């Protein structure tokens, strides 16, 4: 990303999103997306889109590199768990990027969805994220729901915002967690010095993660985790924050000798989106989907049990 520090005079009292939109010649909604993803800071700190500028404020913005105008269909295999005329649920493998971005212009889940669904995807996410209601990281495996219509997308996004769309994950973390269950409640925002990372920062957005011990393996613990919020890298950041980073995490982990010896097996964080619960956007039916632990996760558990 190219960092641009605005040198224009600040208009006291102007909303931050309006200021960014005018200076960059972009829509207000695009400016809001930049603010919400942590790309905009005021005096070195993230501020909400409604923040009113003051005399002397210094506004900085990291503009993303250009990406293609739209994504193209590609015949990439999909593991479809459920599908009808409103939505589909897919089981994403580790290593598959969800949507095109700088460095990953093709070969993504979106490219596969466009090939499978054609024009039958919600347009709310824009040309680069059609149908995408929520995301998981490239090296996180597991369940995602995708909207085929705008009405379904709005209904699912509302469930996500109201926390009635429930997601449970499985992870293996470093260390033996003392308590059998617990909650991490710590705000998450852009890292103060490394803008490519997230971190627990007081100026961040509220984030809550619940965890429960599934099994212990001496120096490692398998957890079931559920999210109240959906911040970028939330589980990975929260687990690292309490001193138990996710096994294999290349960004927030500790890079242990065990990980180095099994790098080909792990290939990133040992984290799986196992369960998804939602209300069908058209019928109102309560639906629950469960994904079996993938082979890399099962094999990791087998090895740890014998360490």
pLDDT at 57: 86
In this structure, are 121 and 209 located in the same domain? no
236: in domain: yes
Checking if the pLDDT of 5 tops 80, the result is no
Q: pLDDT digits over 71-113, tens only?
A: 889 999 999 999 999 999 999 999 999 988 767 788 999 999 9
In this structure, are 176 and 228 located in the same domain? yes
In this structure, are 154 and 187 located in the same domain? no
Closest residue by Cα to residue 113 from 95, 137, 87: 87
In this structure, are 8 and 135 located in the same domain? no
Catalytic entry in 57, 70, 84, 137: 137
Q: Which of 94, 127, 162 is the last residue of a domain?
A: 162
- Rounded CA separation 84/148 (Å): 9
- Rounded CA separation 213/73 (Å): 41
- Write down the mean pLDDT value for the chain: 88
In this structure, are 174 and 295 located in the same domain? yes
Q: Apex CA 298: angle with CA 297 and CA 303, to 5°?
A: 100
In this structure, are 16 and 108 located in the same domain? no
Closest residue by Cα to residue 155 from 147, 126, 226: 147
In this structure, are 128 and 57 located in the same domain? no
Q: Which of 33, 63, 93 is the last residue of a domain?
A: 63
Residue 38 to residues 46, 60, 109, 246: CA-CA distances in angstroms?
6, 11, 24, 23
What's the pTM?
0.79
74: in domain: no
Of 74-88, 186-200, 283-297, which range is least confident?
186-200
Residue partners of 179: CB distance under 8 A and separation at least 6: 213
In this structure, are 176 and 288 located in the same domain? yes
How many folded domains does the chain comprise? Answer: 3
Residue 57 annotated among the catalytic residues of the structure: no
In this structure, are 172 and 277 located in the same domain? yes
280: in domain: yes
In this structure, are 143 and 217 located in the same domain? no
Domain extent for 189: 166-305
Q: Which of 63, 94, 110 is the last residue of a domain?
A: 63
Percent of the chain with pLDDT over 90: 55
CATH code of residue 188: 3.30.2350.10
In this structure, are 190 and 274 located in the same domain? yes
Checking if the pLDDT of 176 tops 60, the result is yes
In this structure, are 138 and 172 located in the same domain? no
CATH code of residue 9: 3.10.290.10
Closest residue by Cα to residue 20 from 51, 66, 45, 56: 51
- Rounded CA separation 13/52 (Å): 5
Radius of gyration of the chain (CA): 20
């Amino acid at each position: 990303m190219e960092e641009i520090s605005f040198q224009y005079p600040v208009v006291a009292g102007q909303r931050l999103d309006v200021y960014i939109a005018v200076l960059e010649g972009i829509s207000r909604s695009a400016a809001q997306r930049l603010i919400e993803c942590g790309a905009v800071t005021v005096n070195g700190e993230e501020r909400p889109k409604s923040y009113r500028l003051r005399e002397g404020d210094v506004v900085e913005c990291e503009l993303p590199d250009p990406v293609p105008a739209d994504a193209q269909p590609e015949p990439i295999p999909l593991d479809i768990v459920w599908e009808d005329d409103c939505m589909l649920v897919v089981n994403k493998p580790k290593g598959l990027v969800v949507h095109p971005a700088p460095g990953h212009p093709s070969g993504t889940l979106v490219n596969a969805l466009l090939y499978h669904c054609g024009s039958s995807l919600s347009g709310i996410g824009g040309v680069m994220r059609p149908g995408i209601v929520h995301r998981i990281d490239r090296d996180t495996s597991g369940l995602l729901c995708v909207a085929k219509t705008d009405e379904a997308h709005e209904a699912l996004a509302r469930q996500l915002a109201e926390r009635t769309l429930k997601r449970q994950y499985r992870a293996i973390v470093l260390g033996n967690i003392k308590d059998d269950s617990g909650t991490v409640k710590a705000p998450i925002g852009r890292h103060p010095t490394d803008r490519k990372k997230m971190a627990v920062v007081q100026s961040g957005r509220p984030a809550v993660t619940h965890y429960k011990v599934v099994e212990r393996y001496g120096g490692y613990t398998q957890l079931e985790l559920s999210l109240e919020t959906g911040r970028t890298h939330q589980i990975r950041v929260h687990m690292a924050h309490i001193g138990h980073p996710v096994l294999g995490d290349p960004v927030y982990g500790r890079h242990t000798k065990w990980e180095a010896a099994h790098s080909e097996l792990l290939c990133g964080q040992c984290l799986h989106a196992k369960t998804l619960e939602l209300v069908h956007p058209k019928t109102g039916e309560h639906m629950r989907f469960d994904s079996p632990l993938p082979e890399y996760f099962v094999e990791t558990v087998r090895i740890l049990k014998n360490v």
